[in-house]
């Protein structure tokens, strides 16, 4: 590229990625890591060639449809892109890219951590020790649920779900069920995974239910009190997908009245707000959206954005084009 295009990065990114962006583009960084306002994002659309948001930046129709746009590509930092009004981006002839594949294993690891943490009462145990409440080992102290040999049900069977299934099946000898109308069991022979005819079937047969579907109009609120009642009373819900797939108030009710035994959550309905009632419950294991939060993965995600916008401005097709 002979011309240095102007790009705006909406949040603080790994240092190596920011340095590469500065080498290749006229780059404006967000040194304070403070979320940009709608007006600041509108201004960016009018003054930069590329907007590089993260999954927590709401890129609405108001922003994308602003008059006198200069932005031609939105390079999203994250595999999900429900933060962007895709219909508006199409209408405004904007290219949108994401960062798939590179965060698969680390997000699957967090799903495993949530499953292990809630089943074995990990956060309870740590606080017990930190508060100096532990009086010593005893046969009935803080008994949890065994994971090895249990049944894991996956709603959605994309890359992250398949990575979790691999770890669970080969590492913990778990039986794998899944519901995904676009994936067939015969393509998952290495996991001995069985496809369910319906979500209801999966919910009723699984000891652990892990969510891996995207947030869409069809999946938002998919897990509610009625669906939770179809799970085993001894069952656990795991969510590393998107918070709005679960109706949090219904989950709180199910956890309080023992409709299910517990939950492990890395994402929330109104991030960064977390339902106050969830915070009071002992049978839920909570993490602050750490799915891809390793140095290696976040750097790889940033480099993926860089590669996509480089390709675009060179006149080539970006590898991770969403639209």
- Strands of the sheet containing 262-265, edge to edge, are 193-195, 175-179, 151-155, 208-211, 236-239, 262-265, 284-286
The one catalytic residue among 212, 242, 298, 304 = 242
Determine the angle formed by the axes of helices 104-119 and 122-130, rounding to 10 degrees: 70
Active site residue 271: yes
Q: Which two tokens stand for residue 28?
A: 């404006």
Active-site annotation holder among 128, 166, 289, 321? 289
| Active-site choice (201, 271, 277, 299) | 271
The H or E element containing residue 287 is: none
Give yes or no: 276 in active site: no
Q: How far is CA 230 from the centre of its chain?
A: 24
Known catalytic residue: 242?
yes
CA–chain centroid gap for 173, Å, is: 25
Contact between 51 and 8 (Cβ < 8 Å) = yes
Which segments of 49-198 does DSSP mark as H helices, in order? 61-64, 86-91, 104-119, 122-130, 159-172
Contacting residues for 276 by C-beta, under 8 A, at least 6 apart: none
At residue 69, the 3 state secondary structure works out as coil
Please give the structure tokens belonging to residue 125: 């145990």
Q: Which residues contact 189 (CB under 8 A, 6 or more apart)?
A: none
Whether residue 62 contacts residue 301, with contact meaning beta carbons closer than 8 Å, is answered with: no
User: What amino acid positions are annotated as catalytic residues?
Assistant: 242, 271, 289
């Amino acid at each position: 590229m002979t011309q240095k295009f102007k790009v705006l990065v909406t949040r603080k990114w790994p240092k190596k990625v920011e340095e590469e962006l500065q080498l290749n583009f006229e780059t404006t960084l967000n040194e304070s890591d403070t979320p940009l306002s709608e007006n600041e994002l509108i201004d960016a659309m009018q003054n930069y060639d590329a907007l590089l948001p993260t999954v927590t930046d709401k890129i609405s129709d108001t922003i994308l449809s602003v008059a006198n746009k200069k932005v031609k590509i939105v390079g999203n930092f994250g595999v999900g892109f429900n933060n962007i009004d895709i219909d508006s981006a199409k209408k405004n002839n904007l290219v949108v890219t994401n960062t798939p594949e590179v965060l698969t294993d680390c997000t699957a690891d967090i799903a495993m951590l949530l499953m292990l943490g809630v089943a074995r009462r990990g956060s309870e145990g740590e606080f017990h020790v930190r508060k100096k409440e532990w009086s010593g080992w005893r046969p009935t102290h803080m008994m949890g649920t065994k994971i090895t040999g249990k049944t894991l049900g996956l709603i959605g069977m994309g890359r992250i779900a398949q990575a979790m299934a691999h770890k669970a099946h080969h590492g913990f000898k778990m039986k794998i069920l899944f519901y995904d109308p676009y994936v067939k069991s015969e393509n998952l022979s290495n996991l001995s995974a069985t496809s369910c005819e319906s979500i209801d079937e999966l919910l009723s047969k699984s000891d652990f239910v892990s969510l891996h579907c995207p947030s869409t109009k069809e999946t938002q609120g998919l897990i509610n009190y009625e669906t939770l009642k179809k799970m085993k009373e001894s069952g656990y819900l795991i969510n590393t997908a998107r918070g709005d797939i679960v109706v949090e108030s219904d989950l709180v009710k199910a956890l309080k009245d023992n409709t299910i035994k517990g939950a492990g959550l890395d994402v929330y309905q109104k991030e960064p707000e977390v339902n106050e009632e969830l915070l009071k419950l002992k049978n839920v294991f909570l993490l602050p959206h750490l799915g891809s939060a390793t140095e290696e993965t976040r750097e790889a995600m940033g480099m993926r954005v860089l590669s996509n916008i480089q390709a675009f401005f060179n006149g080539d097709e970006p590898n991770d084009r969403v639209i």
